[in-house]
Structure 1
């Protein structure tokens, strides 16, 4: 019989595996998760897998459907737009908090990430570009030193990634403007622009991506 520590460790493993498959798109929207089948694949009992699925349900990545069991959450573009708009507000606030805490070495690292983004764009490696973009904003958010805010942002980002792993694959023309806006944001922080200006600019930066996505969606 499994002890509590073993069950928790296996739950964490099951959670990580299932979540990574959802985030990568291997388990797409509507995909049915059969707990007994997953438990057999992982070599676990059903208990840790069931607990892992409950954690994913709390994150809105899976849902229980009557007569169907557990499925990867079906999320439409309307929810994507709503989620991204909320993230824009939180990201703006996080950038405001971080603006007085980031050191020059931190800003230099942001510049380096932005240069890597430019190289990825030139190679049309939009997957890498998207990963670097997330790293750019994560570095800023982490500097805000606000654990609850960082957790909420990470949860929203996971939800967004579960819908579309890279929005830039749909709106590649947005990549150039995004890099330029990153450069301007760094300059604003180096020049110690007001916290209000920085927050507004960071929010508008995210909303510009959302607006580009809306225009793309309207033309389909």
Structure 2
């Protein structure tokens, strides 16, 4: 069968969408397990074992691992093989610290510009975050958390601040998409702090007070992660 006919058959079998390749399947499995913490930093990725689990050769698994390596989620060492990348604690802290300043500034600049629908949309996202605590999925929670924060910062009239914020989010995604996998204890306080920020916006609090609240909220998560990461004496 020609390559074109094979693609057509794949589309037909998948109900109109192209079926994922073996490499894509391997990538998705490994990516999801790294992000949700199933494969912790330093975990060795054994190609043969992964291939057997997915019923495929090591070739597509190796392709998936190379893609993850390019994204900074996997490292490869001679005579050792592929491992889940360690989180660069300094880069993570510096990124979160930067985000705390620029996001605090962005939300304070937008403080007098929020409409009732802006606040309602942010509150709806936070309510969804609270409901998700009952069946906690750190990856989904992290996605909702980003949506909440972007709902507030997108109103900021300063486009340069918006660009910096976007860069920080992308850097965090490369470092690890779900810090809540490592500090799930931050989930409940984070939702409560969101409520506090929204309350300040609704009452028309001084922008500086709002900025400091956002900054404190932002720094609490890396502080919790770094504290957790310290070896016990």
Q: Report whether the alignment pairs 1:18 with 2:27.
A: no
Aligned partner of 1:156 in structure 2 is 172
Which blocks of at least 5 consecutive residues in structure 2 are unaligned?
A: 11-17, 156-161
Aligned partner of 1:60 in structure 2 is 72
Q: Report whether the alignment pairs 1:104 with 2:116.
A: yes
1:37-56 equivalent positions in 2, closer than 5 A: 37-44=49-56, 46-56=58-68
Which blocks of at least 5 consecutive residues in structure 1 are unaligned?
A: none
**3-state SS in 1 of match to 2:40:** coil
1:180-219 equivalent positions in 2, closer than 5 A: 180-190=192-202, 198-213=210-225
1:4-15 equivalent positions in 2, closer than 5 A: 9-10=20-21, 11-15=23-27
1:27-80 Cα shifts (integer Å, max 9, x gaps): 222222234543454345555433322231133211011211111113365555
**3-state SS in 1 of match to 2:83:** strand
1:28 and 1:72 in contact (8 A); partners too: yes
Bigger radius of gyration, 1 or 2?
A: 2
Q: Alpha carbons of 1:103 and 1:157: their partners in 2 closer, same or farther (altered >3 Å)?
A: farther
Q: Distance in 2 between matches of 1:191 and 1:2?
A: 66
Offset of residue 168 of structure 1: 3.8
Q: May I ask how many residue pairs the two structures share in their alignment?
A: 213
Please give the TM-score of this superposition, normalised by the length of structure 1.
Answer: 0.65
Aligned partner of 1:81 in structure 2 is 93
Q: Which moved more, 1:196-205 or 1:52-61?
A: 196-205
Please give the TM-score of this superposition, normalised by the length of structure 2.
Answer: 0.62
Query: Which of 120, 124, 140 is equivalent to 2:149?
Result: 140
